Every structure is written in structure tokens, then in C-alpha cells.
Structure 1
Amino acid sequence: MISAIRELMNDPAISLYLLVIAYFWCQWTFKLILCGRYRPKRTHFDEAISVVMPVYNEDRSILFQAVSRVLAQPTSRVAEVIVVCDQREPDLPDWLNQNFASDERMITTVGDTPGKRFSLRHGIEKSRCNVVVSIESDVLIRPDSLDELIKPFADPRIGGVIGDQEVHDPKRSLWTFLDFVCEKVKYGFTYPALSAASQVTVLSGRTVAYRRAAVFPASGTPDP
């Protein structure tokens, strides 16, 4: 038995194959161990936050729901909602003002440069709170989503946070179901494992929170 294993390992092609398989198995085993050690934060973060929502070519009914759910949060939690419109949709600011003008927290602005990244930066620069939450225009948050998302900021060492996210109605098609599975793996295993090690490498997602003091130096803009 041992000699057979030695002969197998001496085969260059087989050895390379086994090395690759061993790498992925070790990686996922390590992720599962770290994931099991992850515990959500239970401390409370009482500061109000700014919400930035870049918008381009979004279905208006979905956008209405997304903004309404954010504005449903109390003022003690959400101090302002900054919706950054794209220059390519000149009618969008008027539509937003017509539908949400009654809430003083609503701020509608137009980005200087087309594109989500530039719109997000534009919104963060206009924000006033110490913590800024970026929410994409097709995200429907739950009533407790923001409270849970920002709890880690009670620790002053935390510069950014990402929460669990799911695809709405994943059974619409094969592609949405596959996307649902990928999101489950990412937010159910990978991010918890990285969080357990306090080393989340990339905050990618539809709902992400940043501490202003952490993101302003990276944007090249001085924090006012």
C-alpha cells in the first residue's frame, strides 16, 4: 500500500494534480474552521449614520421601495439619505424630489462623473456622519439590517463592515439561483472566516458600511 502511494506521488502529472486538489481542500477546511469560530458582534453602536445610494438606470418601482425602506428608519439611526443621480438620467432628480420631498433627510444630488464608483465617492464627500453606509439602488433592507450592520463600529479599530446579503426570489431563473448559491458561499463561509481572523480583504457587496476616517485618505480627498 505504501509503495503504491510512493509510486503515485513520483508520477509528475499525478503529483501536480494531487497538489492542486490538496490546496483547495486545505483552503476550504481552513475556511470552515475559521467560519465556525466567527461570532456576530452584539455590542450597540448608537451614532446616527449617513446612507449613500448611487443610482443609474434603475427600475423606478424598485428604487421607490429601496429608498422608502431606508427612510422608514428613525432619524436617530439614519440622519441623511444621499441619492446620487447619474448625469445620463436628467429627469431622475425631479422624480425623487416629487416622491420623497416630505422627508427632510432626503438629499438628491448629481455626480460630476458618470459611473457608480465616482457617484459613491461624490456621496461620501457630501456625507456628514462618522459612518457612511453605501446601499445599491435595488437593495431592499430589512427593518433591523442597518442596526445589525453597524454594530462592529463600536470597536474604534474597525474601518469597514459588510453584512449578509441574499438574492431576492432566487428561483426566478437558473442564473438567479446560481447567483444565490454563490452569494450564500461568499457571505455564509468566506466573509465569516475572514472576519474571524479580523482580515476582510475586500468589502464588496450591495450594502457596505465605512468609517469616514478610513475611506477619506484612500479617496485622496481630505476629510472636512
Structure 2
Amino acid sequence: MSRLLSTSLLWICVLAIVGSVVAGFVPNQAIDQTIQLILAFYLSVVFFRATFFFFGSFREKVEDYLLDRLPSTEYAKPMVSIIVPCYNEEKVIANSLNSLLNLDYPFYEIIVVNDGSTDSTAAIAEMVAGTAYKSSIQVISQVNQGKAAALNNGLMHAVGDVILCVDADSKILPGSLEAGIRHFRDPKVGAVAGFVEIANQQNWLLQLQQLEYLVGLNFSRRALSFMGVVPIVPGPAGLFRRRAIFQAGGFQSKHHMYAEDAELSLRILAAGWKVKSEEDLVAVTEAPEAIMPLLRQRYRWNRGTFQALMLNLKSLLFRSGWRGKWVGGYLFTESAITPVVNFCLILYFLTFFVREAGLHLFSKWYLYLLAVDILTTIIAVHGRGNTIRWIFLTFLNKVGFYYMLLTWRILSLIEEWQDKDMSWDKLERTGHMGKV
């Protein structure tokens, strides 16, 4: 925790230094005349966004309740093909496959696509396949072509009407398929986004990432689900209607994509399909246990998401229905505009604080945003227990962790605009995924 705090404080100090430098060039009157207006507008936007997410989350909860009341005979249980692309995953592949063999669902097959692994991944997968008792496991090997090509290869061998894509470092909870499949009784649903849980939460950095998953990813997806406009189906657990995948053109392997799950999700939305979210479709996955691997992961995520958005923005805005247009505008705002605005406002208020010692105004602004974050956290973690711990993590996030990731996000966006080369940085596996 000490390293996390020191790194977070370092980022704050850097921002403060920049703010103090800028303060020397900003006239006093300019600050006095604009500060209240900017603050009022910004807080209004934050309040509107939070209200929308609260309302959307409540609507989705009601819909989930109604779905749970339906008898199982009200919707079919189609054949599901589970595709697991893998590259050098010898530490985790057995745990992942064993979790899939324990799913509470009657009709499914498992297809493992070994993408040219140089370790014993394929041999371990074959060993698990030889002892499989509930479902068949087919192991396919190919030369290394990337995750998207591996997923497309798996699709060519799949027989199911519904496809579940699972990362090899993830374990799927037993009731996940049963929960996710129910959404496909709506013929307009093309995909269902699962929820992601971090398994190895033994330090503060991992717990802060879990908070980020719960509030920043899972909660927002739940809020967007009632309109069927969830923008990204996560790689660890994503259900797709087979017809929707093929109508969208499959996974993008021609371009060197770093967020193939996001890219396919956007094309499915552009094609007119709904994309829903299901909180009981759960993938338990590993996460970076140190700061530098985390920053490298987020660098790839940020650039990959923006890359996928820019590749599909024109079709979303001009060649799709209202859902595609909404997602295009929303995702561009969230991935490009909001981070820049937040970063600039932080510098602006640090400038004001350094120049005017305006602690009273700064503290009111900060406490308002912190209160919104805490309320969001309470709603997002409802039913998990230990609410005080989650509130403390929210405070810890707001005093450093968030600003560190925000600064890194700005840097990654700048390098994406500059089209700098990027390589796929693979997270070092530990095998610490616990029991499912």
C-alpha cells in the first residue's frame, strides 16, 4: 500500500507543479469571472450523468426481477459453443476449463484454440479434454496469428447458435450461462456483456481495481443495458448470438486490434442489434498486482478502445439506427472528451488553489464530487457487505489512484493520435484465481 500511496502522491505533486507554473500566466480577473460558471456547469453535468446511471441501473434491476419470475419453459435453451483462445496460458488454462465443465447448463461444447503457444498450454488442454465428463472439449492448434484470428477459427468449428467467448485466464461461475441465455429470448438481442470480478484481491491495488470494475465498468453497463446500448462486451465473458457475429463480419483480424471485443461490440450495435448486460454472468479473472503492469494494461485498453471507436465511428453515427448513433456519441465523449475535460479542470482548480489559496471553493467542489462517487459506490456494491470498506476505497481512489490513471489515459490518447507503435503487453499469470 505504501508504494501505491507514494506513486499516487507523486502524480498529485506533478499536477500541482504544473498548476503552479500555469498560475503565473493566468490573470486574476479571468479566474474570478469564469470559475463559478465553469464549476456550476461541470457539476451539473456530473449530476445529470450520475442521475442517468442511477435510473438506468434501477430500470435494469426491475427487468432482471421480471426475467427471474419467468418459468424456464418460457424461453429455449439453445446449444452454446464456448470458445477459449489461448497463448502461453499453462498456469491458468486447466482452472479455466474445469470451471467451464462445472457450468449449470445442459447443452454446450468447449473449443480451445491454441494460438501457437510455446509452453505446455496445448498439452494441458488436451489432458483436461481427455478427462472431461460433462461436455466435449475440442483443442485446435494454429500458428500464432493473434486473438481475433483464434476466435474466428473457433467460430468456424462451432455448432452452437450462441457463442460464449472466454479468456483463458478467467473462470466462469456455474450459473453464468443460465443467467445470460435468458436475454436471447428477445430476438433483437445480439450480445450480452458479463460482469468481471478480480480473484486475487490480496493488496490495495487489486482492491482499487475491483472498485473500478464494480463502479466504472459493471455499474455503467447495467445502467446502459435497459436501452440495449452496452458499448463493450468484455473479453473475459461475452455471449453472442451467432447470427449477429456473422452479420457484423466476425472478429477484426485484418487490422492489428488491441481491443477486439470492443471492436466487434460496436459493429454489432451498428448493425442494429441490442447489447445487454447480465450481472450474474460472471468471469473471475486475474489482474495486475503491481503498478507498472497495471499502467501497461490500461495503456493497451485505452488505445485499443479508442482505436476500435475510430474504426467504427462513421458507421455508428451515419449508417446505423438510434442505438448506434447514441453509442457512437456516448463512447466518443467518455473515451476522448471526458478524460481531457477532467484533466484540464484538475489543472485549472490546482492553478486557482495555488494562485488564490481558494481552499473553500476547491473543497466544496471536491466534496461534492466525492459525495457523488460514494453514493454511486453504495449502489454499485449493494448486497456485497462491508460497505464501509468500499467507501474507504472510494476515498483512496479519489485522492490519488484516479488521477494517476487519468494522467496515463491522457498520455495513451496522445500517443494514439500520433499513431505510435504499440505491442501486445501480456500480463504475467500467477494462477491465483481461487475457487469458483
TM class by shorter chain equals: 0.7 to 0.9
Q: Is the CA contact 2:94–2:124 (under 8 Å) kept in the aligned structure 1? A: no
Q: Is the CA contact 2:105–2:178 (under 8 Å) kept in the aligned structure 1? A: no
Letter in 2 for 1:21: L
Give, in angstroms, the shift of residue 112 of structure 1: 4.8
Give, in angstroms, the shift of residue 168 of structure 1: 1.0
The DSSP-based 3-state class of the residue aligned with 1:140 is strand
Q: Distance in 1 between matches of 2:177 and 2:230?
A: 19
Q: Tell me the TM-score normalized by structure 1.
A: 0.83
Partner of 2:224: 194
Q: Is the CA contact 1:163–1:187 (under 8 Å) kept in the aligned structure 2? A: no
Give, in angstroms, the shift of residue 139 of structure 1: 1.6
CA displacement 1:6-36 (0-9 Å, x = unmatched): xxxx923432233222212211111111111
The DSSP-based 3-state class of the residue aligned with 1:47 is coil
Q: Tell me the TM-score normalized by structure 2.
A: 0.44
Greater Cα shift, 26-35 or 119-128: 119-128
Give, in angstroms, the shift of residue 57 of structure 1: 2.6
- Mind listing any 5+ residue stretches in structure 1 that lack a counterpart? 1-9
Letter in 1 for 2:213: E
Q: Is the CA contact 1:161–1:210 (under 8 Å) kept in the aligned structure 2? A: yes
Q: Is the CA contact 2:117–2:144 (under 8 Å) kept in the aligned structure 1? A: no
The DSSP-based 3-state class of the residue aligned with 1:166 is strand
Q: Is the CA contact 1:152–1:158 (under 8 Å) kept in the aligned structure 2? A: yes
Letter in 2 for 1:198: G
In the alignment, does 2:32 pair up with 1:14? Answer: no
Question: What is the percentage of aligned positions where both structures have the same residue?
Answer: 22
Greater Cα shift, 133-142 or 207-216: 133-142
Letter in 2 for 1:119: A
Greater Cα shift, 94-103 or 125-134: 94-103
Give, in angstroms, the shift of residue 141 of structure 1: 1.8
Q: Distance in 2 between matches of 1:220 and 1:137?
A: 20
Give the aligned length.
209
Q: CA RMSD in A?
A: 2.3
Give, in angstroms, the shift of residue 71 of structure 1: 1.9
In the alignment, does 2:103 pair up with 1:81? Answer: no
Q: Is the CA contact 2:86–2:117 (under 8 Å) kept in the aligned structure 1? A: no
Greater Cα shift, 175-184 or 102-111: 102-111
In the alignment, does 2:126 pair up with 1:110? Answer: no
Partner of 2:85: 54
Letter in 2 for 1:195: S
Q: Is the CA contact 1:121–1:219 (under 8 Å) kept in the aligned structure 2? A: no
Partner of 1:203: 233
Q: Give the alignment partner of residue 100 of structure 1, picking from 129, 132, 140.
A: 129
Q: Give the alignment partner of residue 145 of structure 1, picking from 159, 163, 176.
A: 176
Q: Is the CA contact 1:66–1:139 (under 8 Å) kept in the aligned structure 2? A: yes
Greater Cα shift, 127-136 or 189-198: 189-198
The DSSP-based 3-state class of the residue aligned with 1:50 is strand
CA displacement 1:148-181 (0-9 Å, x = unmatched): 12210111111000122211132x1222111100
Give, in angstroms, the shift of residue 92 of structure 1: 2.7
